[in-house]
């Protein structure tokens, strides 16, 4: 599907620019919003120690979680307007999902 | 998603924004119906693209009793096309003859799904298909034995070889064939779709009011969204039984007693309702949402008392009835013997 590839390319460009800024200011957190039952990013490249702030801009509640070194990192129920964060200390690939809405998912690569 | 199979939706879907529809404008200025347009194509995964012969083989397996231990049950025994791919019972009877713990869900429109079973324990339809064949209580079949049984049928050996050259009859290929067939099971145009496409006479005024309530005061859209009326998500809607649902698979507190939101297409034909089959009619369902649910810590934050009056309740039911399509009858396949 042509359209899909274009969208992917667009996302890649977006994420790589975030990765560049991430490398320059290692401590800067990345803000990811949850709106329309979607994460605003599908793929993110971070450096170790960087943080993602998850903001719920939806009318409904979400529950972000991921698995870090075999253990669940669960942000718990996040109501409309609330925000919370996860710091990714170790290199690796992380799959972040909403426990309530499994269609909401993103991949975080940490170097 | 490489392969697509079009199922004949007209390209030009023009929405007529008539004056009568003015109450259907959302806060941000859109017609509420815009979010409910049907997709033009069925999505198939790259790992298991659509091939007609594969779907045909999957249909044969779906309706072949030899997939069960006693050679007496097919997938269609419980997912019966005559009842919109359910079985019209609270919980069904499997092998050995014993009641299952949960109500049979429909297999309509699952191509758009994310994870499967009431509790989401299967990641793909391919994986899901192998579950019931082996599940004690459902078809209770031993997989090695099933492979031997199918390999003893020359017609199957030939078909599997055609569809999966060099691989033949394997559990994985049984899953792929059945999943491909299941993805082709899509509910057809319903009166609601005709209305979305601009035919103002396709549904009654009561149903139109019901649709508006569904999207506003009754808050159904918080979970039942889009053309198939589901977010494919997991929620505790306060049915009050002890089944922990998704929490048994993923231990996150918010998931206690939560189950996958079913789509609402052909919902009239799919009674009784819910994972435990405990609600018999759509009227009972609406009463449940209005004020009949059990409050407990895991109850979805989207569940609040609605304060609907009798007219509003019956409008909601009238609306849900417009989601039934007159699907063409499903013919039973000829099976190799
Ligand atoms: Cu969510």
Contact A77 B254 (CB under 8 A): yes
Q: Among the CATH numbers 3.40.50.2000, 1.20.120.420, 1.10.760.10, 3.40.50.880, which is that of B52-183?
A: 1.10.760.10
Q: A60 contacts in B (CB within 8 Å)? A: 222, 301-302
Measure A35 CA to ligand 1 centroid, in angstroms. 9
pLDDT in tens, B62-110: 999 999 888 888 999 999 999 999 999 998 877 655 667 899 999 999 9
Measured in angstroms, the CA of A79 and the nearest CA of chain B are apart by: 8
Contact A61 B302 (CB under 8 A): yes
CA atoms within 13 Å, Cβ hemisphere of B284: 11
pLDDT in tens, B10-63: 333 333 334 344 478 887 788 899 999 999 999 999 999 999 999 999 999 999
Q: Tell whether A86 is covered by a domain.
A: yes
Which residues, in sequence order, are CB contacts of B284 under 8 Å at separation 6+?
A: B273
Pick from A100, A104, A105 the residue to mutate for testing the B interface (most B CBs within 10 Å). Answer: A100
Measured in angstroms, the CA of B181 and the nearest CA of chain A are apart by: 22
Q: Containing domain of residue A104, as a range? A: 26-110
The total of structural domains in chain A comes to: 1
Q: Which two tokens stand for residue B79?
A: 């997912």
CA B169/CA B215 separation, integer angstroms: 48
pLDDT in tens, B159-185: 999 999 999 999 999 999 999 999 999
Domain boundaries along the sequence of chain B: 8-39+188-321, 52-183
CATH number belonging to domain B8-39+188-321: 1.10.760.10
**CA dist list (Å): B46 to A14, A56, B189:** 25, 32, 27
Q: Which two tokens stand for residue B165?
A: 């050259």
Express as a percent the part of chain B with pLDDT over 70: 91
- The answer to whether A41 touches A16, Cβ cutoff 8 Å, is no
φ and ψ at residue A35, rounded to 5 degrees = -145, 135
CA atoms within 13 Å, Cβ hemisphere of A86: 22
CA B248/CA B260 separation, integer angstroms: 13
CA A21/CA A44 separation, integer angstroms: 12
Q: Tell whether A8 is covered by a domain.
A: no
Model-level pTM? Answer: 0.90
Q: A59 contacts in B (CB within 8 Å)? A: 222
A63 near B CB under 8 A:
yes
Residue B259, pLDDT above cutoff 80: yes
């Amino acid at each position: 599907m042509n359209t899909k590839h274009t969208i992917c390319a667009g996302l890649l460009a977006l994420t790589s620019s975030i990765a560049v800024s991430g490398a320059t200011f290692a401590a800067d957190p990345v803000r990811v919003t949850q709106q329309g039952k979607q994460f605003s990013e599908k793929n993110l490249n971070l450096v170790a120690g960087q943080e993602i702030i998850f903001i719920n801009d939806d009318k409904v509640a979400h529950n972000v979680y991921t698995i870090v070194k075999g253990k669940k990192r669960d942000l718990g129920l996040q109501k409309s307007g609330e925000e919370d964060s996860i710091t990714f200390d170790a290199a690796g690939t992380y799959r972040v999902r909403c426990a309530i809405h499994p269609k909401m998912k993103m991949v975080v690569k940490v170097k | 998603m490489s392969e697509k199979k079009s199922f004949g939706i007209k390209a030009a879907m023009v929405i007529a924004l008539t004056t009568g529809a003015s109450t259907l404008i959302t806060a941000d200025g859109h017609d509420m119906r815009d979010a409910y347009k049907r997709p033009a194509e069925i999505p198939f995964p790259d790992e298991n693209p659509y091939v007609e012969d594969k779907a045909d083989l999957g249909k044969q397996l779906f309706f072949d009793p030899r997939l069960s231990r006693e050679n007496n049950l097919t997938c269609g025994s419980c997912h019966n096309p005559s009842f919109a791919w359910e079985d019209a019972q609270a919980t069904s009877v499997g092998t050995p003859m014993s009641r299952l713990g949960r109500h049979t869900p429909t297999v309509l429109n699952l191509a758009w799904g994310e994870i499967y079973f009431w509790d989401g324990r299967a990641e793909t339809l391919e994986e899901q298909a192998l579950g019931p064949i082996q599940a004690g209580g459902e078809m209770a079949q031993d997989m090695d034995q099933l492979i031997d049984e199918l390999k003893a049928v020359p017609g199957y050996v030939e078909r599997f070889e055609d569809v999966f050259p060099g691989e033949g009859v394997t559990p994985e290929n049984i899953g792929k064939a059945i999943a491909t067939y299941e993805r082709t099971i899509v509910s057809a145009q319903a009166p609601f779709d005709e209305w979305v496409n601009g035919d103002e006479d396709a549904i009654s005024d009561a149903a139109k009011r019901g649709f508006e309530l569904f999207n506003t005061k009754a808050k159904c859209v918080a979970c039942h969204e889009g053309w198939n009326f589901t977010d494919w998500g997991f929620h505790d809607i306060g049915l009050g039984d002890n089944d922990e649902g998704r929490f048994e698979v993923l231990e996150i507190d918010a998931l206690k007693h939560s189950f996958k939101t079913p789509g609402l297409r052909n919902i009239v034909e799919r009674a009784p309702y819910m994972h435990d089959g405990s609600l018999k009619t759509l009227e009972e369902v609406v009463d449940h949402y209005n004020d009949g649910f059990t409050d407990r810590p895991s109850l979805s934050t989207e569940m609040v008392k609605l304060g609907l009056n009798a007219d509003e309740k019956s409008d909601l039911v009238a609306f849900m009835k417009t989601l039934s399509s007159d699907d063409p009858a499903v013919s039973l396949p000829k099976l190799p013997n």
